[in-house]
């Protein structure tokens, strides 16, 4: 197999396995969120309320995908939509006290999951890997 094709195959496999691994680990650690829901809530924990469009841009997802994620999290009572006073066509997504109440435990669980995933990989290897991923990402910009 061509090296470039092998790289593409392994990136895809690793991405799929990463989602599966995080989903299983979240469930085992009693965090009632999918990996994407966790990422969205973590983004709001870190950056505060934001519009659905900003969430879509930051997470590099289309607006329909973000709407589905927000709908699911709103149903679970982790967030609410509020009208943007500056732009009434837009909604601001705000975390509820339920989401804020689980922040510390969920973040600790997230760190535990990542630490477990990275066992045996040195800091130098991680830095090199991140550098390569950044280059790949830059090369795929359209």
pLDDT in tens, 35-68: 999 999 999 999 999 999 999 999 999 999 999 9
Q: Give me the mean pLDDT over the 80-94 stretch.
A: 86
Domain ranges of the chain: 1-30, 31-105
Q: Is the model's pLDDT at 87 over the cut of 80? A: no
Which pLDDT belongs to residue 86? 80
Going by C-beta distance under 8 Å and a sequence separation of 6 or more, which residues neighbour residue 18? 117
Cα 38 to Cα 20: distance, rounded to the nearest angstrom: 13
Which pLDDT belongs to residue 1? 65
Which pLDDT belongs to residue 85? 82
Please count the CA atoms within 13 angstroms of the CA of 95 that sit on its side-chain side: 19
Query: What are the C-alpha distances in Å from 5 to residues 9, 11, 16?
Result: 6, 10, 17
Q: Does domain 31-105 have CATH number 3.30.70.520?
A: no
Which pLDDT belongs to residue 141? 81
The pLDDT-based confidence of 90 (bands split at 50, 70, 90) is confident
User: Residue 42's closest CA among 114, 91, 90?
Assistant: 114
């Amino acid at each position: 197999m061509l090296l470039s094709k092998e790289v593409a195959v392994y990136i895809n496999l690793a991405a799929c396995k990463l989602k599966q691994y995080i989903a299983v680990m979240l469930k085992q650690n009693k965090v009632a969120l999918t990996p994407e829901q966790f990422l969205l809530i973590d983004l709001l924990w870190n950056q505060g309320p934001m519009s659905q469009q900003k969430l879509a841009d930051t997470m590099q997802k289309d607006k329909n995908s973000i709407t589905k994620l927000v709908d699911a999290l709103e149903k679970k009572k982790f967030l609410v939509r509020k009208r943007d006073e500056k732009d009434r066509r837009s909604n601001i997504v705000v975390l509820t006290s339920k989401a804020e109440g689980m922040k510390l435990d969920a973040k600790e669980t997230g760190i535990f999951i990542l630490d477990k995933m990275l066992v045996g990989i040195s800091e130098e290897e991680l830095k090199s890997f991140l550098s390569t991923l950044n280059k790949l990402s830059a090369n795929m910009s359209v």
